[in-house]
Chain A
Amino acid sequence: MQTAFSIAIDALAYGMALFIICIGLSLTMGLMRVVNLAHGAFAMIAGYIASYAVRDLGTNYGVAILLAMAGTIAVSIPLERFLYRRIYGAPQLTQVLMTIGITFCVIGITNYFFGPTLKTIPLPGFLSQPVDLGFRSVAAHRLFVMACGAVVALGLWFLIEKTAFGIRLRATVDNAPISEALGIRTQVVYAIAFAVAMGLAAFGGVVGAEFLPIEPYYALRYMVTFLVVVSVGGAGSIPGALIACLVLGAVDTTARYLMPEFGNFFFYAAVIAIVWVFPRGLLGRAH
């Protein structure tokens, strides 16, 4: 029972961490139709910035998160302008190649500046303590990640469904030429959406670093995980991504607890099973 409970907590927190990182990718893939395999590279950059801020500059955790998000978005803007803009609407293979190239570059450059070792992001005191829930105590960080996930999900839903920007974004995605004729500056909309996605990747990279530790191969190691989660959920769907992250997070965590020697076997078996049954992803839209 104790094991089942801790598995459940870990699975939920891990799923939420995955969700925060992946939802940005889901948006770029579903709304902007870009298969951005370099998504994890941006989460990694954020992790490095946060680690540097906390350990070398001595800032507190919250400031480090903000710095990481700002820094990552700052890095992503020129990349969007000069590289990504060339592959909007390009064949999938082209997008895959370009973004793998970006990933490789980020890995090489990161290692040049920060070295090949694993970087920790020390948690502030109140997050590293256990919290007593009455019947059981849980690591505060796990609860924090879950809360962050919930806030991100609700915030995005609000942004896309309820704000003027959300309307412009959906219009652009639906039909870019007509939106342009209506006076929507689609390039700007894409740039903002891309920045939001990068900011979320950065946020997830930092708060999820307990689950997905920051090291130079981060971008490559989890590239597949992120891509898989998004397509299982159905690119562009927030609830789909949430369900996929929670289900796959649960499968992965449970398998690691109970049958660690199988590694990712069950994770990928689940992926194949789900894609087999739902070729468009759990909540994917028909195109």
Chain B
Amino acid sequence: MQIEADTRSIPALPKHRGGAWRDVAGILLIAVAGAAGYFLFPDSLALLTRVTALAMLALSLDLVVGYCGVATLGQAALFGAGAYAAGIACVSGVTEPLSLLLIGAVAGAAAGLVMGGIMLRAHGLAQLVLSIAIVQLFHEAANKASSYTGGSDGLAGLTVGPLFGIFAFDLWGRTAYLLGVVILVAVFAALKFVVASPFGMMCRGIKEDPIRIRSMGAFVSPVLLKMFVISGAVAGTGGALAAISTQVVGLDSVSFELSANALVMLVLGGIGTLYGAIVGTIIFMAFEHVVSAINPFHWMTMVGALLIAVVIAAPRGLGGLVARLWTPSRHGERP
């Protein structure tokens, strides 16, 4: 026994059979769903485009909340930064859509740097409060700087040039929607890569136990700040997409309410899985579209009830609930 491990040759661990095919399948599924939306709801493409933009907001929130464990109620600050940056660039003469998305991403990343820099100073409740204060500050700043942002009237009159100089942004929103789906799929694929990287694993480690990570000789804050910047770029891209597709940027794009809604979407879908962010956004927006048309206050009651139900019955989100129902026998298989 004593020398067992010394004498036997090291049985090398088998090669990892890549879980990559699952990611590819997932990404394909999103693309197919996006295409299906195009053909099934040709009259609601504006709404569907908004879903893709908000899905990016929910994804960006998932990076911070789900993968780093930093609770925030101010994520719309990053979304709004991207939306306003793209909007302002557009009225100042940059009309090429991909450039506008890039501008949105950069602005969002910069906002993420600021937000992370401030929030990471505090912990727990103070951190949550800082996130709220920051989004409110952004909101008031956007309201005050009305010569740039249009203030409470919103920034209107965005005329975006055709995509690649060919596909104009038509009245039915076909171009905008397809652009939205392609960008969303690309962002999703990139984020899958990010969360599977050593960096992504580091973030999950920090979420579980920052003390352990420090005792491994790694500083925690720079890692989290990096994730904030990535999250900001994703949220900013979503904001820019919303600005391009609706051709208007309103104050609501940088509000506490939108931040809270994004959190609700994420929780509905399931925190800590990128799929959950997208699923949650679709569920949320679908319900909002149907119920809110009847009575906006019924909508609030329903979202409230849904949230309470999720917290009590399905803490891992509806996505987690489905996954659990899907594979009920797994626990039985274990010896």
Contact = CB atoms under 8 A, between A and B. Distances in A.
B9 interface: no
Nearest to B151: A261
B308 A83 contact: yes
B330 interface: no
Given A94-B315, A98-B307, A103-B304, A227 B121 contact: no
Contacts of B130: 271-272, 275
B136 A268 contact: yes
Given A83-B308, A108-B302, A271 B129 contact: yes
B201 interface: no
Which of B118, B301, B311 is the most central at the interface, judged by chain A CB atoms within 10 Å of its CB?
A: B311
Interface string B302-330: 11111110111001000000000000000
A108 B137 contact: no
Contacts of B136: 224, 264, 268
Which of A98, A105, A232 is the most central at the interface, judged by chain B CB atoms within 10 Å of its CB?
A: A105
Interface string B289-310: 0000000011111111111101
Given A231-B125, A265-B137, A268-B137, A98 B300 contact: no
A235 interface: yes
A280 B141 CA distance: 26
B285 interface: no
Interface in B84-102: none
B134 A272 contact: yes
B256 A108 contact: no
B195 interface: no
A61 B85 CA distance: 51
Interface of B is mostly: helix
Which of A35, A94, A96, A235 is the most central at the interface, judged by chain B CB atoms within 10 Å of its CB?
A: A96
Interface in B121-142: 121-126, 128-130, 132-134, 136-137, 140-141
A151 interface: no
Interface stretch (A85-93, A119-127, A161-169): A85-93
A105 B129 contact: no
Interface in A186-222: 216, 220
Interface string B206-245: 0000000000000000000000000000000000000000
Interface string B103-126: 000000000000000100111111
A100 B126 contact: no
Contacts of B305: 101, 105
B311 A94 contact: yes
A104 B121 CA distance: 31
A220 B73 CA distance: 13
Contacts of B153: none
Interface in A68-108: 83, 86-87, 92-94, 96-98, 100-108
Interface string A120-150: 0000000000000000000000000000000
B308 A92 contact: no
B43 interface: no
Contacts of A105: 300-301, 304-305, 308
A261 B144 contact: yes
Contacts of A279: 121-123, 126
B125 A92 contact: yes
A268 B133 CA distance: 5
B55 interface: no
Contacts of B158: none
Contact of B140 (A102, A104, A262, A276): A262
Contacts of A87: 311
B56 interface: no
Contact of B126 (A220, A268, A280): A280
B68 to A, nearest CB: 12
Interface in A58-72: none
B304 A35 contact: no
List the 6 shortest-distance A-B pairs measured between CB atoms, nearest first. Answer: A108-B301, A104-B304, A101-B307, A105-B304, A265-B140, A108-B300
Interface of B: 65, 71, 73, 118, 121-126, 128-130, 132-134, 136-137, 140-141, 143-144, 256-257, 260, 263-264, 267, 271, 297-308, 310-312, 315
25 contacts: A83-B308, A92-B71, A94-B311, A96-B263, A100-B260, A101-B303, A101-B304, A103-B304, A104-B304, A108-B298, A108-B302, A109-B301, A111-B300, A112-B297, A224-B132, A224-B136, A228-B129, A262-B144, A272-B118, A272-B137, A275-B122, A276-B121, A276-B122, A279-B123, A279-B126
Given A35-B125, A262-B140, A263-B143, 9 more contacts: A93-B271, A98-B311, A104-B303, A105-B301, A106-B304, A227-B132, A231-B129, A272-B133, A272-B134
